[in-house]
Amino acid sequence: MADINVEAILAKLTVDEKVALLSGIDMWHTKSLPQHGIPSLRFSDGPNGIRGTKFFNGVPAACFPCGTSLAATFNTSLLETTGTAMGQESIAKGAHVILGPTINTQRSPLGGRGFESLSEDPVLSGLGAAALIRGIQETGVQATMKHFVCNDQEDRRNAVQSIVQPRALREIYALPFQICVRDAEPGCVMTAYNGVNGTYVSESKELLEGMLREEWGFKGLVMSDWWGTYSTSDAVNTGLDLEMPGPARFRGELLQFCVNTDKVLGDVLDERVRKVLGLVKVCAKAGIADGAEEGGSDTPETGELLRKVAVEGAVLCKNEEGALPLKKDKKTVVIGPNAKVATFHGGGSASLAAYYAVTPYDGITAKLTTPPPAHTTGAYTHKMLPLLGFQTTTPSNAPGMTMHVYNSPPSTKDRTPVDTLTVSKTEMHLVDYTNPHITSPAWYANFTGLFTPDFTGTYEFGLVVCGTAKLFVDDNLIIDNSVNQTLGTAFYNSGTIEEKGTIPVVSGQTCTVRVEFGSAETSPLPGISAKLNGGGCLRIGGCRVISPEEEIARAVDLASSAEQVIICAGLNADWETEGHDRESMDLPGAMDQLISAVAKANPNTVVVMQSGTPVAMPWIDEVKGLIQAWYGGNETGNAIADVLFGDENPSGKLPLSFPKRLSDNPAFLNLRAEKGRTLYGEDIWVGYRYYEFAQREVLFPFGHGLSYTTFGLEGLGVSEADGKVVVEVTVTNTGSVKGKEVVQVYVAPPKAQAVNRPVKELKGFAKVELEPGQTERVKVEVETKYAVSYWDEFRRKFCAEKGEYEVIVSDSSELKEGKALKGTFKVGETFWWVGV
């Protein structure tokens, strides 16, 4: 892929060629014009790993920890290294552009993609994302900061208008993007699906041309989210360069007509094309061939990095009486639904097929010097039944199920398959499945697997489909999801609800499970687009039917005989996913009752919580230890075990406030869309800004995170000169083991102020690693204008108000005796500014 001369090529292009460059040609690629030396660019989803071009049966990839886990590291150096690894993964996938990082703001714990974003705080989000982007773009691969802006919920995301005041827009929601432009110069920006204050972002001249390009000086390409373009001339004229995916819906012939009728002028068309060509030019540095074959880079070095990042993101939230770290030689019991399942990513664009995934149970077992620990589920927390493919084998004894593809329905005698595949993950979005031998949009497949239960009792199967499906066990029809279908929320709201059926099973007796599937074209549901969903979607699940009371009693019995108990709890990709928001903060099922019962049976109980956003913890006073482990990527289980047993000292800090109740959250009354709009009624009072101002007690504060050692802070120095605030502090490891501490720098406004402002706001941070007894001087620098400013709605500029500002250095947003130092600096004269 050679370097190009943008202006020379632009001068040679015809109108038709220019128009062709402004929309994708398929799900992941842009148009190539070989006669002009313009290659096709490949994009790939990438919030926590580079999936490549396939939803179905894709090439395995490295799965990095989720966004909130990355932010919890509070380590920009590590995140830059992580970004470089993402760039290298992208090169292996032949992808020139990564669609990430996601830096929307978590207004509420219920946001479906909250796990994918970084933080409730704009500075932490911005600095963390900028580090990731710098790392990615060191490889020549370009990053895409998304979703610009206020795409903070999934409810009616394609239609909702976010009604937000100018101060909140500037100080909270746009600021992470502004910091990324300032510090990392991202190659691309993706527009949000939603509108802001009455105008869709992809059509907003104020946001795209005004804020992004003119004020901030962004030089890169602006693309739509997938199917997030809603007009032709309006979108082009207001700054949307590229419509994705292809083929075009609003460009192509429609754009040619608008150019011919001067609804889009020639110079505007040229400017849009110039951005596409500019992206082609900068992507040449990655050295990725046009149409490169997708591969992987599953190396020991990648695994080591993934484990390190997951460890640094883990947050030790509670540790009473030194309950943690656990002992490797004690009798241990592991309880919970997240123990023997690797819950390593959230749902939607963040999902991918990983090289491998380590379960917490396997990670824990590898640490113990005792026999493998006893385990029981204790309580189910799944939203849909666990995937069946991980529980079955093919007739050739490979993990998963065999997929035979046909052109004719099951009623056809002696039909011959046109394709045969082995599928281990039986959650299949077949939008990109193709085969040259398929002759019609209506095609069929059989999925066959052998299931050998390790218990005697009742087993439940589940089917979700976009298309039609029936499930048979030993040729007996158990589920018919082909006629009387009900639309659900799975597969971006295009799949049915989960239909279920049960059978009795006997331990050790193998049965044959077969699912007869018909593609999306066979669906009886009105409004299901066969074009959008391609081959359709299918999810096959199943699990043992348990009695919650009996299972909790079993868990209590096991716990009573153990010296230490680990409960692996949390959510999964069914609950936290693109497409819909959670309904509550509560853990599903009987999980709360399980934790409480086990903790009462054994006081040496610790909980490992896997969720991307906060959950309610009514049992928190009953357990001695709690680790927030998020979704940790490939190395989830090993990282959890490293922290549990003290091989690694936890150093993560919460990038989100954990409220006690959902009703305590400032967005509680204003999360859902109502009549086409969501009111951002909490204004600037997001997360800890609200909890502190309203003096509302939280479960765990923003920035909180314990360690197996202790640290001391002293010798605070604060100075302001040449447009910078310099904060210095001496950090000492006062404990007995090596550890890392995060110096968090907050700034509080003057007592007399023109507008209401938060009690204090995070403005910078630094992480330092120290041996026992070691001391180090840590410096944090912040531009003065970023340290002190608020958005002046009258002047439409940031205002740096004169006065004396307080600097607070602490180990969390909650100030504790002996844990916080305070100093001051002054701004002599008020000034206003825009830009970066």
Last residue of a domain, one of 284, 302, 337: 284
Q: Which of 332, 330, 323, 355 is nearest to 342 (CA)?
A: 355
Please, what is the Cα angle at 152 between 667 and 190, to 5 degrees? 160
* Average pLDDT rounded to a whole number, residues 356-373: 97
pLDDT digits (tens, 9 = 90+) for 110-130: 999 999 999 999 999 999 999
The structural domain count of the chain equals 3
In a domain, 633, yes or no: no
Query: What's the pLDDT score for residue 2?
Result: 72
Residue 429 has pLDDT above 60, yes or no: yes
Compute φ and ψ for 23, nearest 5 degrees. -150, 155
527 and 413 together in one domain: yes
279 and 395 together in one domain: no
Host domain of residue 262: 1-40+185-284
Last residue of a domain, one of 284, 308, 325: 284
* Average pLDDT rounded to a whole number, residues 442-453: 98
Q: Is 45 a catalytic residue?
A: no
pLDDT digits (tens, 9 = 90+) for 545-567: 999 999 999 999 999 999 999 99
Helices (H), 58-107: 67-72, 76-92
pLDDT digits (tens, 9 = 90+) for 293-343: 999 989 999 999 999 999 999 999 999 999 999 999 999 999 999 999 999
Query: What's the pLDDT score for residue 818?
Result: 85
420: exposed, middle or buried (Cβ count in 10 Å: 0-12, 13-18, 19+): exposed
Residue 536, domain CATH: 2.60.120.260
* Average pLDDT rounded to a whole number, residues 691-715: 98
In a domain, 793, yes or no: yes
Could you say which of 45, 152, 225, 792 is catalytic? Answer: 225
Residue 688 has pLDDT above 80, yes or no: yes
In a domain, 5, yes or no: yes
Last residue of a domain, one of 492, 510, 545: 545
Q: Which of 223, 278, 277, 279 is nearest to 251 (CA)?
A: 223
277 and 386 together in one domain: no
Query: What confidence tier does 12 reach under pLDDT thresholds 50, 70, 90?
Result: very high
In a domain, 554, yes or no: no
Q: Which of 502, 391, 393 is nearest to 454 (CA)?
A: 391
Cβ–Cβ < 8 Å for 602, 608: no
Query: What's the pLDDT score for residue 268?
Result: 98
Query: What's the pLDDT score for residue 530?
Result: 52
Query: What confidence tier does 533 reach under pLDDT thresholds 50, 70, 90?
Result: low
* Average pLDDT rounded to a whole number, residues 788-816: 97
pLDDT digits (tens, 9 = 90+) for 226-235: 999 999 999 9
In a domain, 694, yes or no: no
Rounded-to-integer distance, Cα 364 and Cα 334, Å: 9
List strand residue ranges (DSSP E) for 734-829, in order. Answer: 739-748, 761-770, 775-783, 790-792, 797-800, 803-810, 820-827
Query: What's the pLDDT score for residue 143?
Result: 98
Residue 531 has pLDDT above 90, yes or no: no
405 and 522 together in one domain: yes
pLDDT digits (tens, 9 = 90+) for 32-49: 999 999 999 999 998 899
Residue 822, domain CATH: 2.60.40.10
In a domain, 505, yes or no: yes
Three-state SS at 184: helix
Residue 391 has pLDDT above 80, yes or no: yes
* Average pLDDT rounded to a whole number, residues 635-659: 98
| Neighbouring C-alpha atoms within 13 Å toward the C-beta of 525 | 22
Q: What is the pTM of this model?
A: 0.97
Query: What's the pLDDT score for residue 1?
Result: 63
Rounded alpha-carbon distances, angstroms, from residue 793 to 92, 169, 170, 797, 799: 47, 11, 10, 7, 10
Cβ–Cβ < 8 Å for 497, 464: yes
402 and 509 together in one domain: yes
Rounded alpha-carbon distances, angstroms, from residue 117 to 73, 126, 577, 631, 798: 14, 11, 12, 12, 25
Residue 532 has pLDDT above 90, yes or no: no
Q: Which of 721, 787, 794, 719 is nearest to 749 (CA)?
A: 787
524 and 408 together in one domain: yes
Share of the chain above pLDDT 70, in %: 99
Residue 32, domain CATH: 3.20.20.300
Query: What confidence tier does 534 reach under pLDDT thresholds 50, 70, 90?
Result: confident
Residue 603: how many CB atoms within 10 A of its CB? 13
In a domain, 532, yes or no: yes
pLDDT digits (tens, 9 = 90+) for 567-608: 999 999 999 999 999 999 999 999 999 999 999 999 999 999
419 and 276 together in one domain: no
Residue 681 has pLDDT above 80, yes or no: yes
Rounded-to-integer distance, Cα 477 and Cα 773, Å: 68
Compute φ and ψ for 769, nearest 5 degrees. -110, 130
Query: What confidence tier does 526 reach under pLDDT thresholds 50, 70, 90?
Result: confident
In a domain, 417, yes or no: yes
* Average pLDDT rounded to a whole number, residues 700-717: 98
